[in-house]
Amino acid sequence: MPTDIRIIHSNDFIKATPEGHLDFEETKRLLKEIASASAALADHEIIIDTRNAQSEMSITDLWNLAAELDKLFSDSSRKTAILCPFDRFDNAGVFALFAQNRGFRVRAFISFEDAINWLLQMGPTRD
């Protein structure tokens, strides 16, 4: 069965202040644009590529972003793979956990191939 996978790069929606901290209001605005654009696309999975992200996020930032996902994306059945560098894997894992607690199928990866393989898996896997 064919799978449609969309890749969203972090610089498309994660914005930083000049000091390198998350600009939450701008990031939230861009997330709304992405949610609106993807609402018409049915049956697709998502990779969010954060390997080149230029901002530092606190645990609170990660929790707030997961809360925004809950507000913006009505379809929590699609899978979302967070692709990140090794040194940010813990933060991506925490974000995935926060999103999973809100009913989303999100998982963190450092390997593009592993992310694709997970997205292509069939069946009702929860993670």
SS (H, E, C) the chain: CCCEEEEEEHHHCCCECCCCEECHHHHHHHHHHHHHHHCCCCCEEEEEECCCCCCECCHHHHHHHHHHHHHHCCCCCCEEEEECCHHHHHHHHHHHHHHHHCCCEEEEECCHHHHHHHHHCCCCCCC
User: Where in the chain are the domains?
Assistant: 4-120
pLDDT score, position 76: 61
Q: Give me the pLDDT at residue 74, please.
A: 63
The model's pLDDT over 17-57, given as tens digits with 9 standing for 90+, comes to 777 777 778 777 777 777 666 666 556 788 888 888 777 77
Higher pLDDT, 48 or 127: 48
Q: Which span out of 22-36, 77-91, 112-126 was modeled with the highest average pLDDT?
A: 77-91
Predicted TM-score (pTM) of the model is 0.76
